[in-house]
């Protein structure tokens, strides 16, 4: 998957800074191994490596040109990029964390469920899966309202009418395959995650953190 450059991404994602800060905040600190799904040209990869320079990152990306662009970024020289379709086999290994952003909503429900199961099989005990993505609400009224607000936000941030309309069209094409937050939480729980928390939610965007830990006996919120 090829991602947009940082400036374009900041204009398309509502509350861009908090969205990415939340993903980063829920990744473990200290030395360890992390796997990124759908790394694109390395925008999120760069954020993580800057904050967690001691972490070893393996980044999976299907598009070879995006990998080549990411590999040419000096700040990503320590990252291992692997060309792979995340719906298929992954490189062998276990990780302390798996992370992704704006990627999984592109797949079908069945594919997304399989990917989540693969994620939990790839995590070490105590590991976490952090995914920032696009979701859909439970009713058409909310969807129509959020689309209007998203359009206004993109135009206000500097995207052209054509660019903003194009993003809405892409969402419309993928709409029936996009999870609601409730359905995505259920996927995480069915896959075996002990807790599936959503520390950031804003209209069509949310960040989920799935934990593989011993249950504490307290209901999650």
Is 219 among the domain residues? no
The pTM assigned to this predicted structure is 0.93
Is 48 among the domain residues? yes
User: Which spans in the chain are helix H?
Assistant: 6-12, 16-25, 43-51, 64-71, 109-122, 140-157, 161-174, 181-191
Mean pLDDT of 97-109: 96
Mean pLDDT of 199-209: 97
Q: What is the mean pLDDT of the chain?
A: 92
| CATH code assigned at 121 | 3.40.50.150
What was the pLDDT predicted at 198?
97
Mean pLDDT of 174-178: 94
Structural domain boundaries, residue 24: 6-211
Is 221 among the domain residues? no
Q: Which has more pLDDT, 215 or 120? A: 120
CB 185 within 8 A of CB 208: yes
pLDDT tens-digit map of 18-33? 999 999 999 999 899 9
Is 1 among the domain residues? no
What was the pLDDT predicted at 2?
40
Is 216 among the domain residues? no
Is 218 among the domain residues? no
pLDDT at 3 over 60: no
pLDDT tens-digit map of 135-168? 999 999 999 999 999 999 999 999 999 999 999 9
Residue 138 DSSP one-character state: S
pLDDT tens-digit map of 45-90? 999 999 999 999 999 999 999 999 999 999 999 999 999 999 998 8
pLDDT at 191 over 90: yes
Number of domains comprising the chain? 1
Is 206 among the domain residues? yes
Is 217 among the domain residues? no
């Amino acid at each position: 998957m090829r991602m947009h450059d940082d400036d374009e991404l900041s204009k398309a994602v509502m509350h861009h800074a908090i969205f990415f800060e939340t993903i980063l905040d829920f990744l473990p600190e200290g030395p360890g191994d992390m796997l990124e799904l759908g790394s694109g040209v390395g925008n999120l990869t760069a954020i993580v490596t800057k904050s967690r320079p001691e972490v070893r990152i393996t980044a999976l990306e299907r598009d070879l040109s995006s990998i080549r662009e990411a590999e040419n970024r000096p700040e990503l020289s320590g990252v291992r990029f692997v060309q792979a379709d995340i719906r298929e086999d992954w490189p062998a290994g276990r990780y302390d964390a798996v992370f992704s952003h704006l990627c999984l909503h592109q797949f079908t429900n069945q594919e997304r469920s399989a990917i989540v199961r693969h994620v939990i099989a790839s995590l070490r005990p105590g590991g976490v899966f952090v995914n920032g993505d696009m979701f859909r609400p439970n009713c058409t009224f909310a969807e129509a309202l959020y689309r209007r607000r998203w359009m206004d936000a993109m135009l206000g941030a500097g995207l052209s009418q054509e660019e903003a309309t194009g993003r809405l069209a892409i969402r419309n094409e993928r709409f029936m395959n996009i999870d609601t937050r409730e359905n995505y939480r259920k996927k995480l729980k069915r896959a075996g995650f002990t807790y599936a928390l959503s520390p950031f939610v804003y209209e069509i965007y949310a960040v989920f953190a799935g934990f593989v830990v011993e249950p504490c006996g307290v209901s999650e919120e």
